[in-house]
Amino acid sequence: KHLGKNRWNVYRPDRDSSREMASRLVWNDRIAQALEQDLLLLHFQGVYHAGDGRLAHLEALIRMRDEAGSGQLIMPADFIVPAEKSGKILEIDRWVIRQCIQLLAGHPQLPAIAINISGRSFDDPELPAWIGNQLLRHRVAPQRLLVELTETAAISDMGDAARFIAALRQTGCPICLDDFGTGFASFAYLKNLQADVLKIDGMFIRDLPQEPDNQVFVRAIIEVAHGMGKLAVAEFVEDAATLEMLRQMGVDMVQGYHLDRPRADHPALTVAVAD
Ligand code: C2E
Ligand code: MG
Ligand code: MG
Ligand code: MG
């Protein structure tokens, strides 16, 4: 189904090595268990205004507790792809949205929160309306929930992505194209995908001061974003020199280990919750 409509594929077990199959089954179980036993949790990382360093919003990043109770967290790089393959990602995405809306509803002083949604969720035509209903039910202003979609996912399924984004815009949530620059979005695509924010992929940002080619790309992306009335964010800002260069280039917002690391008890959260 992820290949788009009006396509079909013959399932060929011989193509799936038995090892891959076994690991897929293990992940299916672990994800189902995590959803049932409350083993998922969110870490939060700040996204800051480049100009004055004020917090703009928080990005929610998912982790999974290890069921054995080792205290070790399982990172999304390990379970998001298996969850996308099994379709469990649709439940995970809704879990994240529910958590964040509840958090926002309970704490009006909290800054906006950005969530990540899998490209698989484009297959879930009811999701945008469901988000709108959740926001309404909890009386959360849609501007407080930013939705990040990866550029690659959007391009691999342009029709569904454009429809999904259009529906999402109806709810009033700002939309961000994540990992921008890795998916070869043409200008025509960019016109179709009505995003408010372009988040420049970290691969162009790390080592920015040492990489003249990346400086050219980053400047160009910022110019395109601004020319189209969008904001540009840089992720993976790991040192002061990179931050300074991005400021000079006119980037709007910055995120990265130089500013803070994702964590469950982000100060912006604890302050708001303690109030
Ligand atoms: P992303 O949305 O592009 O998130 C940025 C990733 O870079 C995060 O990894 C973050 O912890 C990491 N990061 C932030 N600052 C720095 C930095 O300065 N240097 C370096 N090297 N890394 C930095 P994380 O949390 O492991 O998430 C990885 C990806 O998993 C995310 O990429 C996103 O695509 C996906 N993901 C995370 N949470 C969710 C979720 O709730 N739902 C879905 N569907 N996907 C998620
Ligand atoms: Mg993101
Ligand atoms: Mg990203
Ligand atoms: Mg990424």
The 10s digit of each residue's pLDDT in 174-196 is 999 999 988 766 677 788 788 99
User: Residue 8 has which token pair?
Assistant: 């079909």
Q: What is the ipTM of this complex?
A: 0.97
Counting ligand 1 atoms within 8 A of each CB, the residue from 35, 74, 116 with the most, and so the one to mutate, is: 116
Query: What element of type H or E holds 202?
Result: helix 202-205
pTM: 0.92
DSSP letters spanning 119-148: GGGGG-TTHHHHHHHHHHHTT--GGGEEEE
User: Residue 1 has which token pair?
Assistant: 């189904």
List all residues 6 or more positions away from 243 whose beta carbon is below 8 Å from its beta carbon: 50, 237, 254, 258, 259
| Rounded-to-integer distance, Cα 77 and Cα 27, Å | 13
| Rounded-to-integer distance, Cα 76 and Cα 84, Å | 11
Is the pLDDT confidence value at 5 over 90? Answer: no
Helices 18-36 & 89-106, crossing angle to 10 degrees?
30
φ, ψ of residue 117 to 5 degrees: the values are -120, 135
Q: Yes or no: say if 116 and 61 are a contact pair by the CB < 8 Å rule.
A: yes
- Which residue shows structure tokens 């400021």? 247
Gap from CA of 178 to ligand 3 centroid (Å):
5
In the structure, ligand 3 is a single-atom ion and the residues with CB under 5 Å from it are: 178-179, 235
Q: List, chain by chain if needed, residues with CB within 6 Å of any ligand 1 atom.
A: 45, 61-62, 75-77, 80, 89, 93, 96, 116-118, 148, 178-179, 235-238, 255-257, 262
- Structure confidence at residue 48 (pLDDT): 98
Is the pLDDT confidence value at 17 over 90? Answer: no
| C-alpha pair distances (Å), 197 with each of 114, 151, 176, 181, 262 | 11, 12, 4, 13, 21
Q: What is the pLDDT of residues 121-164, one digit of tens each?
A: 888 889 999 999 999 999 999 999 999 998 777 777 778 888 89
